[in-house]
Structure 1
Amino acid sequence: MKRKINKILGFALLSGALLTGCSKRFFDRVPGTSVTTGTYYQTDAQLMAATAPLYGTPWFGFNNKCGWAMTEITGGNMRTWSSDISMFGSLPVSNANTEERTLWNSPFTVVAQCNALINNIANANTSAVTPSALSNALGEAHLMRGVAYFYLVRTFGNVPLIENTSDFLDNFDSVPTRSIPDVYKFIVRDLKFAEANCTPGVASTGHGSSGSASAMLAKVYLYMQNYDSARIEAEKVINSGEFALMDNFGDLFRGNNNNNKESILAMQWISNGGYDYGNSIQASWAYSNAITQTGDGYGSAAPTIDLVRAFEKEGGDTVRRHYTIMLPGEHYAELNANSGGYTLPLSASSQGTQAQPKKYVIGAPSDPDNSLYGTAAQAGGNNTYIMRYADVLLIEAEAILGQQAKPAAGKGIDTSASTSDATAVKYYNMVRKRAGAGQVKSFTYRDLLGERRLEFALEMDYWFDLGRVDGFKATTTSNGMQTAPHPVGRALIAQQERGTYENTYPDKSVLYSSHLTVADNEFYFLVPANEATSDPKLLEAPVPYDFTW
């Protein structure tokens, strides 16, 4: 029965045994540094070590493929011919699809391990641990649980809320979902706890800080259209001085720059741990083994023609485009550096778009940029951003615009709404200046959405932006499906060019045009079939959550 619970909702329990090997059944995994109750926590360092896995292996499934397949391929920034994820570009994605199941499995594994750590600390003898270390560990667990649920609610809508696995030992086949507003309320509660308990100023260590929690709160409030609170939290982060923009956009994605001054929260990877422990994005995205020199570099996804055109339309945005998208003939001195750099071949067009990804493509083990954290076959040592400081600046700008536009409840900001507020324009321009784009005196909501797209392209964010532009949606039918209208989101997607060129660069004379029409109920993915079979309650209307604790 306990094993079945692990299978259903990812309620993996912390144990004294360390599971290793190549299993990809992420629900059944335990943390890389498992802990036991009783007298384990004898020092502050031991307690800090227990929180480290919350940033790594449990996220592997999401980071490996399904996270970017949903956010970037479904969102229209990338395309692929790979049969296991090509349906993310056409919709709907079958609820029997392996990667669709991993969208559920991986974040719920994070939830499970956060819960286990929280409950484990409550039962352990922590008399030898300082109160500050204890508070921080609990804060980190609440932080990462809130982050995991933020991914889950934006992906699936209403989902189960779990704080203690043992509560469901006797009814594992009848666990209900909770409404979208309840899930957001739960997330806010977790992040407020983290804000109050995490240590300030420690994000540079790879652990979440109090400021990391404030930044995540700002983003969550923005999604909820609580612009006043989003602005308050964003300004906490801005005024703290803990974070700042990197001077050079490209430096954000160099292998040696993990946990830099712009990194607010990130998935932490280790190259020497191999598959499951390293960052596997480069293996999928790099155009060829000539870049990685580790036997991978499959070129299995590439930027869409539409994303390339979005950068071209911006015009002056050459710096940001260069470090986001490779174009044929373009040279990168930091790749294959010991041999004079790497030039993308003129024939490069692995997915028919005459472009290849550059973000998260960090090069070979011998490249100087990888000297600190390394890179290996399907296992880079570079972090994956969950949130960085540029996001906080754009959240502040959007919150000000939202305060001025005052959209009705459940309605998005009108895309033509504009602001010339000095603070909003200041932070908007800071992001643009670093990108190499021109400065402006005002901007519209459509401009801001476009700015977010270019700034965070290929960083697993854009699909979520498309899902929220029509406002905070909480409508659920009797069968659990989300059916709220998304007219602006659907229109933005319908305009995207998702097709391919017949020939390679520079011949763009023959375009096989392709566009995607999205239904309102496709902005949320289906509950995986195996989960729904085990627990039919997952397909029923959500049940109110009891927040009394």
Structure 2
Amino acid sequence: MKSKLLLSIVACLFVFQACDNCLNETKYTYSISSETFYNTQEEANAAVLAPLDVMRSAYNSNFFATLEINTEYCYPKGVYQTYKAYNGFVNSTHITRSESNWTNLYKAIMYCNTAIEKLPSATEMTETEITAYLGELRFLRGFNYFNLVKYWGGVPLKTEDNITIWDVPKSSKEDVYAFIIEDLKYALANCPDKSRYLATPNKNVVRTCLADVYMHTGNYEEAKTLAGEVVNSGVYSLVQVGASRDFDKVFGYDLTTSTEEVFYIKTSRTDGKTWDYLSYTSHPKYEIEPGKLMLNGNGYFTHYTDLRNHVISTWDKNDLRYALNVGFYIFGADAYGEYTCLLTKYWDPNSQGGGANVSIPLIRYPDAMLIFAEATARVAGGPTEESIEMLNQLRRRAYGYDPKVPDMELDYKLSDYKTMDDFIDLLIREETYEHFNEGKHWDFIVRLGKAQELVGKYYNVEDGSWTEIKERHFLWKIPDSEFNYNKAMNQSTDQNPGYTSAE
């Protein structure tokens, strides 16, 4: 019996030309026999687009909101209000939303697995062409497993080898990381040097992701090498700015690409493939520029920051990232006080509904710079001129200067950061400013073992009391549906600490 797979993908994910190629703005819906599909380059290309399309739903409003609300500088409203207790998922709507993230991550992985299984038998492609597509697919699979293991811990490893098996046991975090590393090594060896289309993987995308994985597994030598290759490749550069909204050349609506883009999920206003996260950060009446609303009159402003928060109150206003990210706006003084600020990094005054034509910034060039800065210091046993220089380039750009030109008054000096602890504190400061509202800061401070310290000291702006992060807050709840349908998983032994099916 032939195995059938329904793939619905939208080829106008990439409506702009890249690498001398452009996809037609056509919606392809395939009812595919997996025994006869994946023979041609067109079919292999469809196999790569399928997980990319699903990933827009995986890295959606709830995914980014949950990660931002975790931080020491962000506060929740509505459904997320209970998250203020730092006691994990206790709201049923929030749990349902996170289950959707889990489902879409695994859906993207399933699309990868199907193609990875069948592509080696393709009859109308060369071996080189086949391995290149496999490299792209194994990057996408590894990238999605990387986010599963970071936020859910050990998870079932569903691969091309068990594609027909429903009951797959939970693997340890160590085994999941080992699997990710093997996928990314293969991808690094076989991905194209340059992306075939905007947002399809290339070797530098893989290098940056694998370097991040090595930071999580403590292999700083390899992380330094890989991040260094990206930093020194000459492919990327920081976009220079002279005003806060000049950062729209990095994050802006209707933007094709930039010299900082490493791996973004692309959006398109023309076919409704937009990013819904902006509906969570926007206020329907807030104007980013005179006469231009943040999201064209839409938005729920589900989370926000506060002028009294330590990160915000100590942030130098001459740093252009401040005005980019922080918009003072009192939206409910009785309930939330008179110090509320919107998160304004992203906006789209031309949006139709809650979706914005803003590409999802999953990996940026500054990510590679921050990894290289830390890894270099780790390998050396303390901060170095190289590691400080990475932070200085970010700082110079943030103040409107040429990132590559030293500035004696502005630059951090190595002599002021002699110990590793001092350097890590500096690294966290620059990372916070650079990654503000990108869903990356929480993972960063958790990996460094700094989450409890920072949240504990700075989150509560009402009376300054210590905020305790409960153990179960560090991992998301594995969906009950996984236990209901995967009989190799057991709630009592495989659920993350502190959760049961009744919670």
What range is the shorter-chain TM-score in? 0.7 to 0.9
* Contact 2:114/2:163, CA 8 A, preserved across alignment: no
CA distance in 1, matches of 2:183, 2:113: 12
C-alpha distance in structure 2 between counterparts of 1:466 and 1:399, whole Å: 15
Instruction: Give the letter for the 1:80 counterpart.
Output: P
Count of aligned pairs between the two proteins: 442
Q: Deviations over 1:517-543 (max 9, x none)?
A: 11334311222223234446254667x
- 2:136 and 2:4 map into 1 onto residues whose CA distance is 16
Give the TM-score, by structure 1 length: 0.73
Indicate how the Cα distance of structure 1 residues 436 and 312 shifts in structure 2: closer, same or farther if over 3 A, else same. Answer: farther
**SS of residue in 2 equivalent to 1:323:** helix
CA distance in 2, matches of 1:14, 1:87: 43
Contact 1:82 1:300 in 2 (8 A): yes
Q: Is the 8 A contact 1:32 1:53 kept in 2?
A: no
Report SS of the residue matched to 2:232: helix
CA–CA separation in structure 1 for the residues paired with 2:453 and 2:366? 26
- Cα distance, 1:159–1:498 mapped onto 2, change above 3 Å: same
Cα displacement (A) at 1:168: 5.0
Q: How far does residue 204 in structure 1 lie from its aligned partner after superposition?
A: 6.9
Contact kept? 2:283, 2:295, Cα under 8 Å: no
Is 2:154 aligned against 1:182?
Answer: no
Partner of 1:432: 395
Percent identical: 21
Letter in 2 for 1:517: E
1:523 maps to: 474
In 2, Cα distance between the equivalents of 1:197 and 1:310? Answer: 42
Aligned to 1:310: 311
Rounded to whole Å, the distance in 2 between the matches of 1:431 and 1:296 is 32
CA offset digits 1:376-414 (Å, max 9, x no partner): 212222111111010111111100221233xxxxxxxxx
Give the corresponding residue for 1:211.
204
- Answering whether residue 398 of structure 2 is matched by residue 398 of structure 1, we say no
How far is the alpha carbon of 1:70 from its aligned partner? Answer: 2.3
For the structure 1 residues 19 and 144, does the alpha-carbon distance in structure 2 shift closer, same or farther, using more than 3 Å as the test? closer
3-state SS in 1 of match to 2:255 = coil
Of the candidates 446, 453, 460, which is equivalent to residue 425 of structure 2?
446
2-structure distance, mates of 1:14, 1:383: 32
Deviations 1:277-312 (A, max 9, x none): 310112221111561565522222212456x54244
The answer to whether structure 1 residue 377 and structure 2 residue 328 are counterparts is no
1:494-548, Cα deviation, whole Å (9 max, x unpaired):
112345xxxxxxxxxxx47675311334311222223234446254667xxxxxx
Question: For residue 366 of structure 2, what is the amino acid of its counterpart?
Answer: A
* 1:496 matched residue in structure 2: 458
Report the alpha carbon displacement of residue 454 of structure 1 after superposing the two structures with TM: 1.4
Distance 1:319 1:18 in 2: 41
Q: Which residue of 2 aligns with 1:87?
A: 82
Alignment match, 1:117:
115
SS in 1 for 2:340: coil
**What is the aligned counterpart of 1:468 among 440, 443, 447?**
447
Q: Residues 41 and 160 (structure 1 numbering): CA distance in 2 closer, same or farther, change over 3 Å?
A: closer
How far residue 14 of structure 1 moved from its aligned partner, in angstroms, is 7.0
- Specify the SS of the correspondent of 2:264: strand
1:397 and 1:141 map into 2 onto residues whose CA distance is: 29
Q: CA–CA distance in 2 between the matches of 1:14 and 1:63? A: 28
Shift of 1:347: 6.0
Q: Unaligned stretches of 5+ in structure 2?
A: 11-26, 242-246, 287-292, 401-409, 418-422, 495-503
**Matching residue's letter, 1:231:** K
**Kept in 2: contact 1:110–1:145 (CA 8 A):** yes
Whether the 8 Å CA contact 1:278–1:380 is kept in 2: the answer is yes
Q: State the distance in 1 between where 2:443 and 2:209 align.
A: 15
Could you say which residue in structure 2 is the equivalent of 1:324? 325
Q: Is the 8 A contact 2:237 2:260 kept in 1?
A: yes
- Residue 147 (structure 2) pairs with residue 151 (structure 1): yes
Aligned partner of 1:459 among 422, 438, 461: 438
Partner of 1:8: none
1:196-225 deviations in Å (ceiling 9; x for gaps): 111112287221111100110111111112
Does structure 1 retain, via aligned residues, the 8 Å contact 2:457–2:464?
no
2:51 to 46, 54, 68: 54
Q: Which amino acid aligns with 1:121?
A: L
Aligned to 2:342: 356
Q: Residue 379 of structure 1: SS of its match in structure 2?
A: coil
- Is contact 1:36-1:120 (8 Å) kept? no
Residue in 2 aligned with 1:301? 303
The separation in 1 between residues aligned to 2:91 and 2:77, in whole angstroms, is: 20
Which amino acid counterpart does residue 473 of structure 2 have in structure 1?
A: E
Separation of aligned partners in 1, 2:181 and 2:75 = 34
Matches within 5 A, 1:268-287: 268-274=266-272, 277-287=273-283
Question: Aligned residue for 1:238?
Answer: 231
Q: Distance in 1 between matches of 2:397 and 2:196?
A: 22
Question: Quick one: structure 1 residues 86 and 229, their matched pair in 2 at CA, closer, same or farther if it must change by over 3 Å?
Answer: same
Give the residue type in structure 1 aligned to 2:452.
R
Deviation at 1:121, TM superposition (A): 1.9
What CA deviation, in whole Å up to 9, does each residue of 1:121-168 have, x standing for no partner?
A: 235x432x3444322221111111111111111101111111137555
Q: Which amino acid aligns with 1:464?
A: D
Alpha-carbon separation, structure 1, partners of 2:61 and 2:161: 26
CA distance, structure 1, for counterparts of residue 336 and residue 4 of structure 2: 42
Distance in 1 (alpha carbons) for counterparts of 2:145 and 2:259 = 26
- How far apart, in 2, do the equivalents of 1:498 and 1:126 lie? 62
Give the TM-score normalised by the residue count of structure 2.
0.80
Runs of 5+ in structure 1 lacking a partner?
1-12, 21-30, 329-345, 366-374, 406-417, 471-487, 500-510, 543-549
Instruction: Give the Å deviation of 1:75.
Output: 2.1
Change (3 A) 1:426 1:540: same
Q: Is the 8 A contact 1:215 1:392 kept in 2?
A: yes
Of 85-94 and 221-230, deviating more is: 85-94
